[in-house]
């Protein structure tokens, strides 16, 4: 296969709300560029992008797909990303290695909340952007209204490059503002496009948009602005160079009218991508650090430099092993070279190199800086890792992993499957780092966390399909805390045991008092006159620590308590550390129950973003979950609700919110504090704990 240098490469990621048409557009582009001989359909389960069985069954993208085409002597790498918020990590990892983010928006529905969420990341990471307004062939399409929505919700710099000449069910033509021609698409299965002068009906609109485009480009630099004022316009040369620079610096977001169903407008889009989208070496270099050194270093996209690559995605195939998909960040990578994993300092031999179109692999001998490819059977390298030459031990900044919004506990259906479960979930995490798994010793449960219920369900399905292991996801136990509100002056316990031979004797008197929230545990030795010998004091403290870890009411940790040891007694022969440890824990238990004990529960602060029409329902739902509204704000047509809600009320909240808002609500959460559980709920928690103890 032909070798490409950075100047001839374009890396784009299709992003946007689920159902906007990203996969369908990718399918048409592959066909138009001659990479496939048929256009697959999602409903028929035969698209190049969605090749995974789960994707075919559910008819949604679950994983990002790497694709490539050649157009006008440029190699265009396309990353088709999922639109479902459960798989936002796939979007972030793809954007991390893309040089332009292409948002796909439906012309009838306009900008949806999933689109806004991913666009926020694009803006935060200063990635150049573009917009495809798809489904202009829809009878309810309103292209101009959607453009205004894009400007108000995504970017004020959105500027039309092509607009529909005949919007709606008969959509076949676009007017191209760059070429100032009208393009009529005869047939989706053909690249035969008729080019004509702009019809009289659209002449004035096209000239007005052309003027707007030139002014927008002129505004992107002082030099061009001066030329524009002097000459009243810009030369073609200034227009071309100015357009490229404006896209790179984010001051120009091109907008295109297309129909994936009819293939209309996509040739114009590809021409623009090849001509004006930034090459990898025209972007600001990615940053990293040298191994063992925290100082930042820039990784220049230059094929003459030392080789380095970033693995941004891993796929595990049953008969092939792990497939690592990467972007060459510097230098060039050839089959057979040895590179070092700069995270774990392990050497990796690069075997066969491939470029991908979904699951289809084409072998290549070399890939240069800026290009995207794949390699199989790396031993110790996973998503987010850097491979580099031994002379260039750089660790490239990895992509952002969003905070989990859902958690579930793994409950095996059969004993003895723990190793298989651990292996399977580890692989699921490697494929998607937003899915995390850890054993929580406090809860005695394996906790699976992620972005949504579907993501967790698919991890469970992977265990069954690949390892034959069946598990259920159950509600995780809540990490309650116990504390006291009252003071007990004399909590006394005498441990005395005589059973022939040497006995046991330990006697302590404790004072228990509450501490301010967040203070922890304080132990005070106030023994006077040696009534408890100094050598037994550490045993008393150890006994207190142990009982406070186990808890008294619900088996939960005790926090924010001050314990003073102020009296006791001992026996010259029978006293030992064990006796004082037991005496201390029993005295604490007794005193704790007398000191107005309470249960505390974890409270999370949640931020919910919903369209205005759902605000009342969402706020009512939060109140029903014992939530307290902290405040509200607006962001365009969306309302931002901030609230504090007990963790016990947030199980599967992301799924419920989606259902409540027709899939248009999203939320994030973070731990806030511990607060007292209401008495009626406290009684239930204690009852459930006692019941579980009896079952054990």
Neighbours of 346 (CB within 10 A): 14
Which of 338, 364, 396 marks a domain boundary? 396
Alpha carbon of 568 to those of 490, 494, 534: distances in Å?
A: 11, 8, 12
Sign of the alpha-carbon torsion through 407, 453, 51, 419: positive
Q: Give the rounded percent of residues in the chain with a pLDDT score beyond 90.
A: 70
What value does the mean pLDDT take over residues 29-36? Answer: 94
Q: Is residue 351 part of a domain?
A: yes
What value does the mean pLDDT take over residues 510-519? Answer: 95
Alpha carbon of 406 to those of 19, 167, 462, 654: distances in Å?
A: 23, 42, 18, 7
Q: Tell whether the model's pLDDT for residue 321 goes beyond 80.
A: no
The reported pLDDT for the residue numbered 428 is 84
One domain, residues 590 and 609: no
Q: Tell whether the model's pLDDT for residue 230 goes beyond 80.
A: no
One domain, residues 313 and 410: no
Q: Identify the CATH number of the domain in which residue 648 sits.
A: 3.30.70.240
Q: What is the CA 349 to chain-centroid distance, rounded?
A: 30
What value does the mean pLDDT take over residues 488-503? Answer: 89
Q: Is residue 691 part of a domain?
A: no
Task: Look over the chain and give the mean of its residue pLDDT values, rounded to a whole number.
Answer: 92
One domain, residues 307 and 256: no
- 596 is written with which tokens? 């107005």
One domain, residues 261 and 290: no
**pLDDT tens digits, one per residue of 374-427:** 998 888 898 999 999 998 999 999 888 888 889 999 999 888 888 889 888 988
CA distance 555 to 519: 20
Sign of the alpha-carbon torsion through 498, 499, 504, 509: negative
One domain, residues 563 and 605: no
pLDDT band at 295 (very low <50, low <70, confident <90, very high): confident
What value does the mean pLDDT take over residues 449-477? Answer: 90
DSSP annotation string for 78-123: EEE---SGGGHHHHHHHHHT-SEEEEEEETTTBS-HHHHHHHHHHH
Q: Identify the CATH number of the domain in which residue 117 sits.
A: 3.40.50.300
**pLDDT tens digits, one per residue of 257-279:** 999 999 999 999 999 999 999 99
The reported pLDDT for the residue numbered 427 is 81
One domain, residues 236 and 354: no
The reported pLDDT for the residue numbered 677 is 96
The reported pLDDT for the residue numbered 419 is 85
Neighbours of 153 (CB within 10 A): 20
**pLDDT tens digits, one per residue of 164-221:** 999 999 999 999 999 999 999 988 888 889 999 999 999 999 999 999 999 899 888 8
One domain, residues 443 and 335: no
- 187 is written with which tokens? 């047939």
Q: Is residue 632 part of a domain?
A: yes
Whether 248 contacts 124, CB under 8 Å? no
Cα angle value 416/421/426 (rounded, 5°):
150
One domain, residues 59 and 184: yes
How far does the chain reach from its first CA to its final CA, in angstroms? 64
Whether 327 contacts 309, CB under 8 Å? yes
CA distance 63 to 92: 12
Q: Is residue 212 part of a domain?
A: yes
**pLDDT tens digits, one per residue of 630-661:** 999 998 778 999 999 999 999 999 889 989 98
Which range has highest mean pLDDT (223-227, 266-270, 609-613)? Answer: 266-270
Q: Identify the CATH number of the domain in which residue 460 sits.
A: 3.30.70.870
Q: Tell whether the model's pLDDT for residue 696 goes beyond 70.
A: no
What value does the mean pLDDT take over residues 309-323? Answer: 79
What value does the mean pLDDT take over residues 323-341? Answer: 96
Q: Tell whether the model's pLDDT for residue 117 goes beyond 90.
A: no
The reported pLDDT for the residue numbered 282 is 95
Q: Is residue 695 part of a domain?
A: no
Enclosing domain of residue 150: 6-282
The reported pLDDT for the residue numbered 614 is 94
Q: Tell whether the model's pLDDT for residue 99 goes beyond 70.
A: yes
Cα angle value 220/270/170 (rounded, 5°):
105
Give the HSE-up count for residue 103: Cα atoms under 13 Å, Cβ half-sphere. Answer: 34
Which 3 state secondary structure label does DSSP give 49? coil
Q: Cβ-count burial of 344 within 10 angstroms (0-12 exposed, 13-18 middle, 19+ buried)?
A: exposed
Which 3 state secondary structure label does DSSP give 155? coil
Q: Tell whether the model's pLDDT for residue 319 goes beyond 60.
A: no
One domain, residues 568 and 634: no
One domain, residues 421 and 443: yes
Q: Is residue 692 part of a domain?
A: no
Q: Tell whether the model's pLDDT for residue 626 goes beyond 70.
A: yes
Q: Is residue 108 part of a domain?
A: yes
Q: Is residue 132 part of a domain?
A: yes
Q: Identify the CATH number of the domain in which residue 572 sits.
A: 3.30.230.10
Contacting residues for 547 by C-beta, under 8 A, at least 6 apart: 558, 584, 585, 588, 589
Average the pLDDT over each of 63-72, 118-127, 213-222 and give the range with the smallest value.
213-222
CA distance 92 to 404: 14
Number of domains within the chain:
5
481 bridge partner residues: 557, 600
One domain, residues 161 and 193: yes
Q: Identify the CATH number of the domain in which residue 311 sits.
A: 2.40.30.10
Which range has highest mean pLDDT (43-52, 99-108, 211-220, 452-461)? Answer: 99-108
Which of 565, 595, 625 marks a domain boundary? 595
One domain, residues 494 and 587: yes
Which of 346, 374, 396 marks a domain boundary? 396
């Amino acid at each position: 296969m032909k070798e490409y240098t950075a100047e001839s490469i374009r890396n784009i990621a299709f992003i946007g709300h689920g159902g906007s048409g990203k996969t369908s557009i990718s399918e048409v582009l592959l066909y138009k560029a001659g990479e496939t001989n048929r256009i697959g359909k999602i409903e028929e389960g035969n698209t190049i992008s969605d090749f995974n069985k789960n994707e075919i069954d559910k008819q949604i993208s679950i994983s990002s797909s790497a694709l490539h085409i050649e157009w006008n002597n440029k190699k265009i790498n396309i990353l088709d990303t999922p639109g479902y918020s459960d798989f936002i990590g796939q979007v972030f990892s793809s954007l991390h290695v893309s040089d332009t983010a292409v948002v796909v928006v439906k012309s009838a529905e306009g900008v949806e909340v999933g689109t806004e969420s991913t666009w926020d990341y694009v803006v935060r990471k200063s990635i150049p952007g573009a917009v495809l307004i798809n489904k202009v062939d829809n009878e309810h399409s309103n292209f101009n209204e959607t453009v205004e929505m894009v400007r108000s919700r995504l970017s004020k710099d959105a500027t039309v490059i092509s607009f529909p000449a005949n919007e709606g069910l008969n959509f076949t033509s676009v007017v191209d503002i760059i070429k100032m021609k009208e393009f009529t698409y005869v047939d989706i299965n053909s690249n035969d496009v008729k080019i004509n002068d702009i019809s009289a009906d659209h002449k004035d609109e096209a000239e007005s948009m052309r003027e707007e485009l030139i002014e927008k480009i002129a505004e992107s630099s002082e030099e061009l602005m001066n030329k524009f004022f002097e000459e009243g316009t810009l030369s073609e040369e200034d227009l071309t160079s100015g357009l490229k620079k404006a896209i790179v610096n984010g001051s120009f977001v091109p907008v295109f009218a297309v129909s994936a169903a009819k293939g209309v407008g996509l040739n114009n889009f590809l021409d623009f991508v090849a001509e004006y989208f930034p090459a990898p070496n025209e972007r600001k270099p990615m940053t990293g650090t040298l191994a063992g050194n925290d100082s930042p270093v820039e990784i220049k996209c230059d094929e003459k430099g030392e080789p380095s690559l970033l693995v941004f995605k891993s796929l595990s195939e049953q008969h092939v092993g792990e497939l690592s998909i990467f972007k060459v960040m510097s230098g060039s990578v050839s089959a057979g070279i040895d590179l070092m994993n700069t995270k774990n300092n392990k050497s990796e031999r690069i075997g066969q190199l491939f470029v991908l179109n979904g699951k289809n692999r084409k072998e290549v001998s070399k890939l240069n800086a800026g290009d995207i490819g794949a390699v199989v059977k790396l031993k110790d390298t996973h998503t987010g890792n850097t491979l580099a030459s031994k002379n260039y031990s750089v660790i490239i900044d990895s992509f952002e992993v969003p905070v989990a919004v859902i958690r579930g506990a793994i409950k095996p259906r059969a004993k003895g499957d723990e190793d298989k479960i651990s292996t399977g979930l580890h692989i699921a995490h490697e494929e998607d780092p937003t899915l995390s798994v850890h054993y929580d010793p406090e809860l005695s449960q394996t906790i699976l966390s992620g972005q949504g219920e579907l993501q967790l369900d698919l991890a469970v399905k992977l265990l069954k399909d690949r390892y034959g292991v069946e598990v259920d996801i159950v509600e995780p136990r809540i990490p309650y805390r116990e504390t006291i509100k009252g003071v007990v002056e004399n909590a006394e316990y005498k441990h005395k045991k005589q059973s022939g031979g040497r006995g046991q004797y330990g006697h302590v008197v404790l004072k228990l008092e509450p501490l301010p929230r967040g203070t922890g545990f304080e132990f005070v030795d106030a023994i006077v006159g040696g009534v408890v010998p100094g050598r037994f004091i550490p045993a008393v403290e150890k006994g207190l620590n142990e009982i406070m870890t186990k808890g008294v009411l619900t088996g939960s940790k005790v926090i924010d308590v001050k314990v003073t040891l102020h009296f006791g007694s001992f026996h010259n022969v029978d006293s030992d550390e064990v006796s004082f440890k037991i005496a201390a824990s029993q005295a604490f238990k007794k005193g704790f129950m007398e000191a107005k004990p309470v249960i505390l529960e974890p409270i999370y602060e949640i931020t919910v973003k919903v369209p205005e029409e759902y605000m009342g329902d969402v706020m009512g739902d939060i109140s029903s979950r014992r939530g307290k509204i902290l405040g509200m704000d607006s962001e365009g047509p969306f309302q931002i609700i901030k609230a504090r809600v007990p963790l016990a009320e947030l199980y599967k909240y992301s799924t419920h919110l989606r259902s409540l808002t027709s899939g248009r609500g999203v939320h994030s959460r973070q731990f806030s504090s511990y607060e007292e559980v209401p008495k009626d709920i406290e009684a239930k928690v204690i009852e459930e704990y006692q019941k579980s103890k009896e079952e054990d």
